[in-house]
């Protein structure tokens, strides 16, 4: 089968142990990200299978109509709106997905939380510039760590925060609040109270039509002037432009973000990157070797299962 793997930014897929699973296929790997539909159609024109790395490339109806040989899309992680499932179904393209552990993203969230509290980047930069200590950091222990969304990753962050001595506070949908309460975590009395009480808030919701823009400028304006907001989920969970405005007004006082509405970013194109009170990382939450082995191991197993006439993890 002719397989194309798109958006391998680190040029690392061939070095994974999981790559052995598709060694007998005709595989082409591209390390760049292109968005032009003509360029994508030309690249994918001979593809029978496409492996997508999360939501880096959009597969819509207009593109599918130009890919007559395409039989299967194997998604690393869960399928999101970047794939037009109805168009795939109409054209007989099978879509399969999988998932990783989420542990890598939870670990990065904790790293960003601690880096924000301890002014880590600023202090490192001071030392590189020939200076010594210049700020007074804070510890996580004893502070309120808000977790917005108590799914798989949110729960991991709650447990990690508890291990650091944080007072974990959870907000989310009714079933999330019940789940958190059943597992011994305190839940907020309201969304308003949640934003007011958090010293640190980690946004851990899945992006859906219902959650898009769920965090508004009004919500952010309720946060403390020394509070920290961390987003390792999706940028679109926050109302467009709200985080930049909130940081400029000082509520919250600091943010650490790993996700952006348009990716990848080059030449400081996003306004968050220029703010002194925002720590920005290039969407590396899930980009970790063990996680990649899991993601691509499932994605490649899906393709082999399809070739054997026993498709698995089918979405459509």
DSSP 160-181: HHHHTT-EEEEESSHHHHHHHH
pLDDT at 258: 98
Percent pLDDT > 70 in the chain is 100
pLDDT at 160: 98
pLDDT at 99: 80
pLDDT at 102: 85
Distances (CA, A) of 219 to 34, 191, 253, 254, 316: 35, 8, 14, 15, 37
pLDDT at 154: 98
- Which sign does the torsion angle of CA 21, 26, 30, 35 carry? negative
pLDDT at 230: 98
Q: Which two tokens stand for residue 290?
A: 């063990």
Catalytic residue status for 234 = yes
Quote the CA–CA distance of 316 and 89 in Å, as a whole number: 6
What are the tens digits of pLDDT across the range 263-291?
Answer: 999 999 999 999 999 999 999 999 999 99
What are the tens digits of pLDDT across the range 156-174?
Answer: 999 999 999 999 999 999 9
Catalytic residue among 55, 234, 239, 251: 234
Catalytic residue among 107, 122, 236, 263: 263
Domain ranges of the chain: 2-100+288-307, 103-280
Q: Which three-class secondary structure string do you get for 93-114?
A: CEEECCCCCCHHHHHHHHHHHH
Taking a C-beta distance cutoff of 8 angstroms, is the pair 230, 278 a contact?
no
Q: Which two tokens stand for residue 299?
A: 């994605």
- Domain 2-100+288-307, CATH: 3.40.50.720
Under the phi-then-psi rule, with left for phi > 0, alpha for psi from -120 to 50, and beta for the rest, what region is 119? left
Catalytic residue status for 283 = yes
What single-letter DSSP state applies at residue 215? B
Number of residues in the chain: 316
CATH class for the region spanning 103-280: alpha beta
Quote the CA–CA distance of 60 and 37 in Å, as a whole number: 10
State which residues of the chain have pLDDT below 50: none
pLDDT at 263: 96
Helices of type H across 23-102: 37-44, 61-64, 85-90
2-100+288-307 and 103-280 have identical folds: yes
pLDDT at 262: 95
Catalytic residue among 43, 143, 251, 283: 283
């Amino acid at each position: 089968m002719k397989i194309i793997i798109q958006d391998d930014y680190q040029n690392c897929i061939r070095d994974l142990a999981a790559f052995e699973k598709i060694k007998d296929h005709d595989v082409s790997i591209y390390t760049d990200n292109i968005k032009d539909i003509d360029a994508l159609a030309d690249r994918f024109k001979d593809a029978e299978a496409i492996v997508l790395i999360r939501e880096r490339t959009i597969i819509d109806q207009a593109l599918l109509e130009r890919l007559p040989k395409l039989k299967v899309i194997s998604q690393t992680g869960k399928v999101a709106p970047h794939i037009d499932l109805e168009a795939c179904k109409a054209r007989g393209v099978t879509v399969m997905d999988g998932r990783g552990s989420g542990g890598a993203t939870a670990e990065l969230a904790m790293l960003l939380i601690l880096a924000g509290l301890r002014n880590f980047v600023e202090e490192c930069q001071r030392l590189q510039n020939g200076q010594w200590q210049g700020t007074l950091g804070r510890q996580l222990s004893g502070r309120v760590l808000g977790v917005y969304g108590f799914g798989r990753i949110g729960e991991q962050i709650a447990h990690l925060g508890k291990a650091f001595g944080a007072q974990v506070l959870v907000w989310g949908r009714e079933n999330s609040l019940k789940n958190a309460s059943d597992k011994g975590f305190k839940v907020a009395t309201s969304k308003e109270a949640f934003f007011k009480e958090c010293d640190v808030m980690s946004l851990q919701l899945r992006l859906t039509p219902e959650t898009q823009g769920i965090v508004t400028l009004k919500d952010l304006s309720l946060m403390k002037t020394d509070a920290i907001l961390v987003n390792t989920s999706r940028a679109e969970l926050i109302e467009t432009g709200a985080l930049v405005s909130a940081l400029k007004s000082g509520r919250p006082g600091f943010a650490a973000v790993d996700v952006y509405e348009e990716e990848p970013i080059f030449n400081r194109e996003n306004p968050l990157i220029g703010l002194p009170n925002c720590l920005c990382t290039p969407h590396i939450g899930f980009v970790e070797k063990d996680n990649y082995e899991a993601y691509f191991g499932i994605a490649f197993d899906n393709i082999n299962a399809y070739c054997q006439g026993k498709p698995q993890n089918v979405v459509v």
